């Protein structure tokens, strides 16, 4: 490569990453008609989530979102996925129909930004900017980054993390004030989940460097650094506070790791998986191959550095010298192998994830860069070690015999422990060919020369492009529904479905054994939803009726009463799969009371004859004790007979409701139909969602409780004819209010996102404090620059004295400077071994 001014490399790192990502994604964008469609979660979450959130924001509907599950807190539910992402906000000016065509270009931009961010951090520690550029590409296109194409929203964390460390370095080396606070705010806003891991890493990073003697800090500077961290966290409260209040309702956060599970993984294969991810390209998220029984699906186990693999890392660790990066790497490897320490990156949650490995890959990229620039690295030795480990894993997993016995006699032998042999040997081939290229570069080029870097960039670009394309292509083979369902029937928004009331706010839908979030593609209400963050009342309700609600709501057809309770009117059954709602002959519907409606947009459509419009009334009640004593399979049927109340609520509404005698409780299909008919007799005349909640009208000759199958949350406020009324939490997790007799009674529910106002106030105050802090620090800095620091026995005079005497200005004179703002790394044995960290 041609020598360039150092400053140009910032732009060049961005453009290099942009070009590589463009080459990788372009073939798939062209094949999919301008779209980028992958498989699994990316297809059924990222694409519809972007469109739904995009349209909601453009319409000003940022409070309650009724198109997600039974309804969700929009900010609390979508801040994890995209609301803090600047890449999402880039899409807002574009029409909603363009979103499907923007996913690919956004990914290309993300990889380019990751390369730039890594260079911003790494260039400080490089003698040659080409080495930093090489390492930035290793980070941006590491196994972790390519693996998590599956999870579109993970790449924002990959981008901001190097900037956080770079900001901390600026504070420690140059005393640059305020940048660390801004970096903390950016990391927290982008994704609060990943921010927890970043905090853990940054604390370790800070103290390791202090202990290693790489940094020195005064008590004053430490307190100012802590102040910046607090102010940065406060500036992010606009999203953080509503998100925390929402996520605390999710039972998945209350699962701390403990006991032996904190010391040893319960799956021995997981240790092999962790080792393998360092030396081989990543497995597909849902298809672990090397270790199929490691229970690590979707765990983001990927840390391979393209082409160089572990050669530079092992070389750096083998060098006989003390250095902070060696300590960091050993600590991180130990944390990866100990479940309790691994869990520290996710608030000690027991669920296994390695979603902090992008931090590890940044340190590994730095080690590779430093190893390339250090003349004392024994590359023959490190390549030998890397090759031996790679071959050992390949041969053991690829050729290990498994004896199949019958009646204690061996009847056959299978070779290999992998699940998909063809893919396995392709992974192994990529890893070994990459090592061969490293040997080629070190043998035929002088390490550190221009020709060496030129050849390295060519070889690295080839490996990155080929392995990334192979990974994406492999993933696309797992989704056979791209061309026969997603493009023709999902992305068209259900345009061919001509049901007049399909998008009526009183109507929900059901999609039988169909693509997850099919309703979200069409932007219609549905009880089927694949979304991790929903109100706690929704999870409590589903748990009470025996429906598992962890990452998705997928009630099966045994819960037919649930459909009536939640106002489901239409069911869509994909007509080109083998899962038939009513059998191949359409004669046996999976639930009672469903009649065939017609076929459109790739679906057979069924209509619920027992449909109850959203917003209906009761005349009976049962207590929670009666409900708890009812079997789970009958509980939603009981809710169709009577309203489930606490003892206090029963006394409060005793003038409107009478208790349902146990002798009248029957769970037959005839009773079910009668109960649905009784509930449908008196319902709201109108019902409509608004940007602040929903409104309804009803006419009733008696005082009644009006029930809405909308999840209860603290942010709801209800008004009847303009007067505020109490909202009661009924039927385990839903809402009901009292309405007195009258004609055309107006009901209004207003939703205010819990914690949003508080978060905005905290953010505004902290941002103002950050600005004030930076102005104060700048004033202090200017004052300090006016003074000359001289030995204690000399007179200290302001610079203006000498400027006037010599008729010149010394503001930028190289010989007039303050005390050194950092202390050189004590671990450096020779200056030429490591670049000046200034």
DSSP-assigned letters across all residues of 261-319: GGTS-S-THHHHHHHHHHHSPPPBTTB--SSTTS--TTS----PPTTTTTHHHHHHHHS
- Token reading at 395: 């041969």
Q: Which tokens hold the place of 780? A: 């202090």
Q: Find out whether 328 and 363 touch, Cβ atoms under 8 Å.
A: yes
CB contact at 8 A, 610 and 673: yes
Integer distance in angstroms from the first to the last C-alpha of the chain?
25
Backbone CA torsion sign across 767, 773, 776, 781: negative
State pLDDT tens for residues 61-120: 999 999 999 999 999 999 999 999 999 999 999 999 999 999 999 999 999 999 999 999
Average per-residue pLDDT for the chain: 91
Instruction: Assess contact for 712 and 757: CB atoms under 8 A.
Output: no
Question: What SS3 state is found at 139?
Answer: helix
pTM of the model: 0.91
The answer on pLDDT for 826 being more than 90 is no
Residue 830, SS3? Answer: coil
Task: Measure Cα distances from 120 to 129, 204, 794 in Å.
Answer: 11, 21, 41
Q: Per-residue b/e over 314-350, b at no fewer than 16 CB within 10 Å?
A: bbbbebeeebbbbbbbebbbebbeebbbbbbbbebbb
The whole-angstrom separation of Cα 189 and Cα 240 is: 7
Contact of 247 with 782, CB cutoff 8 Å: no
- What the block records as the tokens of 471 is 């990974």
Percent of the chain with pLDDT over 90: 83
DSSP 582-627: TTTTT-S-SSTTEEEEEEETTEEEEEETT---SSEE-SEEEEHHHH
CA atoms within 13 A on the CB side of 435: 25
Helical (H) or strand (E) element with 61: none
In this model, does residue 298 exceed pLDDT 70?
yes
What's the chain's Rg over C-alpha atoms? Answer: 31
**Spacing of C-alpha 767 from chain mean position:** 26
Most confident of 237-251, 318-332, 383-397: 383-397
Mean pLDDT over 628-632 rounds to 95
Which candidate, 153, 166, 219, places its Cα nearest to that of 192?
153
Strands (E), 70-118: 72-73
Phi, psi of 98 (to 5 degrees): -80, -15
The pLDDT of residue 735 is 98
Tens-place pLDDT, residues 448-486? 999 999 999 999 999 999 999 999 999 999 887 888 899
CA dihedral 702, 707, 713, 718 (to 10 degrees): -30
Please tell me the distance from the alpha carbon of residue 299 to that of residue 533, in angstroms, as a whole number.
Answer: 18
Instruction: Compute the average pLDDT of residues 572-585.
Output: 91
- Is the pLDDT score of 190 beyond 70? yes
* Strand spans (E) along 445-556: 508-512, 529-530, 552-553
pLDDT at 799 over 70: no
* Distance, CA of 440 to CA of 438 (rounded, Å): 5
- Phi, psi of 235, rounded to the nearest 5 degrees: -65, -25
Question: What is the DSSP secondary structure assignment for residue 19, as one 8-state letter?
Answer: H
* 528 DSSP assignment: -
Q: Is a pLDDT exceeding 60 seen at residue 219?
A: yes
Q: Of 579, 572, 577, 574, give the one whose Cα is nearest residue 602.
A: 574
Q: Residue length, the chain?
A: 838
CB 467 within 8 A of CB 475: no
- Inter-residue contact 750 to 702 (CB < 8 Å): no
Rounded Cα distance, 398 and 417, in Å: 6
CA distance 585 to 607: 17
pLDDT tens per residue across span 754-769: 999 999 999 999 999 9
Listed residue (160, 184, 166, 175) closest to 124, CA to CA = 166
Strands 616-617 and 704-711: antiparallel
User: Distance (Å, rounded) from C-alpha 569 to C-alpha 574?
Assistant: 17
């Amino acid at each position: 490569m041609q020598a360039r001014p150092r400053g140009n490399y910032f732009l060049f790192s961005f453009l290099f990453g942009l070009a590589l990502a463009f080459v990788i994604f372009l073939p798939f964008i062209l094949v999919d008609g301008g779209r980028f469609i992958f498989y699994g979660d990316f297809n059924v979450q990222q694409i519809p989530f972007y469109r739904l959130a995009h349209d909601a924001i453009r319409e000003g509907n940022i409070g309650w979102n009724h198109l997600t599950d039974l309804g969700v807190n929009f900010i609390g539910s979508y801040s994890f996925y995209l609301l803090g992402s600047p890449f999402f906000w880039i899409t807002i000016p574009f029409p909603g129909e363009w979103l499907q065509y923007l996913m690919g270009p956004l990914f290309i931009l993300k990889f380019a930004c990751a390369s730039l961010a890594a260079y911003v951090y790494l260039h400080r520690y490089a003698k040659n900017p080409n080495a930093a550029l090489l390492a930035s590409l290793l980070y941006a296109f590491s196994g972790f980054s390519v693996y998590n194409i599956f999870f579109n929203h993970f790449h924002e964390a990959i981008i901001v993390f190097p900037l956080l460390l770079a900001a901390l370095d600026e504070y420690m080396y140059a005393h640059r004030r305020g940048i660390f606070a801004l970096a903390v705010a950016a990391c927290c806003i982008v994704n609060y989940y990943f921010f927890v891991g970043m905090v853990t890493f940054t604390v370790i990073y800070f103290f390791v460097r202090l202990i290693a003697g790489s940094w020195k800090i005064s008590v004053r500077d430490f307190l100012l650094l802590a102040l910046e961290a607090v102010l940065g966290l406060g500036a992010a409260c606009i999203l953080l506070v509503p998100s925390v209040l929402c996520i605390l309702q999710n039972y998945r956060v209350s699962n701390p790791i403990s006991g032996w599970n904190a010391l040893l993984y319960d799956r021995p294969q997981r240790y092999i998986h962790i080792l393998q991810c360092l030396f081989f390209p990543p497995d597909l998220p849902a298809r672990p191959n090397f270790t199929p029984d490691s229970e690590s699906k979707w765990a983001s186990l990927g840390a391979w550095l393209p082409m160089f693999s572990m050669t530079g890392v092992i070389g750096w660790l083998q060098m006989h010298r003390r250095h902070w990066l060696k300590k960091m790497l050993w600590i991180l490897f130990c944390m990866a192998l100990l479940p309790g320490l691994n869990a520290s990156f996710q608030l000690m949650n027991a669920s296994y994830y390695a979603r902090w490995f992008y931090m590890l890959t940044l340190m590994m990229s730095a080690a590779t860069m430093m190893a390339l620039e250090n003349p004392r690295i024994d590359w023959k030795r490190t390549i030998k070690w890397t090759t031996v480990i790679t071959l050992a894993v390949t041969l053991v997993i690829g050729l290990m015999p498994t004896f199949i016995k019958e009646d204690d006699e061996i009847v056959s032998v299978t070779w290999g422990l992998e699940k998909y042999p063809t893919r396995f040997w392709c992974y192994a081939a990529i890893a070994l060919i990459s090592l061969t290229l490293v040997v080629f570069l070190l043998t035929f080029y002088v390490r550190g020369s221009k020709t060496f870097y030129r050849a390295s960039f060519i070889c690295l670009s080839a490996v990155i492009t080929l392995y990334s394309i192979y990974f994406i292509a492999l993933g696309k083979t797992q989704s056979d529904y791209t061309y026969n369902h997603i493009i023709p029937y999902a992305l068209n928004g259900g345009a061919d479905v001509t049901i007049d009331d399909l998008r009526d706010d009183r109507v929900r839908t059901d999609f039988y054994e169909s693509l997850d979030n099919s309703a979200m593609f069409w932007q219609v209400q549905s009880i089927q939803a694949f979304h991790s963050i929903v109100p706690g009342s929704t999870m409590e309700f589903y748990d009470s009726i025996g429906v598992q609600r962890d990452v998705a709501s997928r009630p099966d057809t045994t819960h037919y009463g649930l459909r009536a309770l939640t106002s489901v009117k239409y069911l869509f059954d994909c007509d080109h799969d083998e899962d038939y709602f009513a059998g191949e002959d359409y004669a046996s519907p999976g639930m009672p009371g469903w009649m065939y409606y017609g076929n459109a947009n790739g679906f057979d459509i069924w209509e619920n004859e027992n449909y109850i419009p959203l917003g209906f009334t009761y005349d009976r009640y049962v207590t929670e004790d009666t409900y708890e004593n009812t079997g789970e399979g009958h509980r939603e049927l009981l809710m169709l007979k009577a309203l489930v109340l606490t003892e206090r609520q029963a006394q409060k509404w005793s003038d409107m409701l009478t208790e349902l005698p146990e002798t009248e409780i029957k769970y037959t299909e005839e009773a079910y139909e009668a109960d649905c008919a009784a509930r449908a007799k008196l319902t709201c005349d109108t019902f409509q969602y608004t940007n602040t909640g929903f409104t309804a009208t009803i006419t009733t000759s008696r005082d009644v409780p009006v029930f809405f199958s909308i999840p209860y949350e603290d942010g709801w406020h209800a008004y009847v004819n303009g007067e505020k009324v109490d909202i009661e939490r009924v039927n385990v997790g839903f809402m009901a209010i009292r309405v007195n007799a009258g004609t055309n009674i107006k009901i209004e529910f207003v939703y205010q996102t819990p914690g949003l106002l508080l978060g905005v106030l905290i953010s505004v105050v902290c941002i103002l404090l950050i600005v004030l802090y930076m102005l104060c620090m700048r004033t202090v800095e200017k004052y300090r620059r006016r003074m000359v620091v001289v030995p204690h026995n000399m007179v200290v005079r302001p610079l203006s004295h000498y400027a006037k005497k010599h008729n010149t200005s010394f503001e930028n004179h190289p010989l007039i400077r303050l005390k050194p703002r950092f202390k050189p790394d004590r671990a450096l044995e020779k200056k030429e071994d490591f670049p000046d960290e200034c």
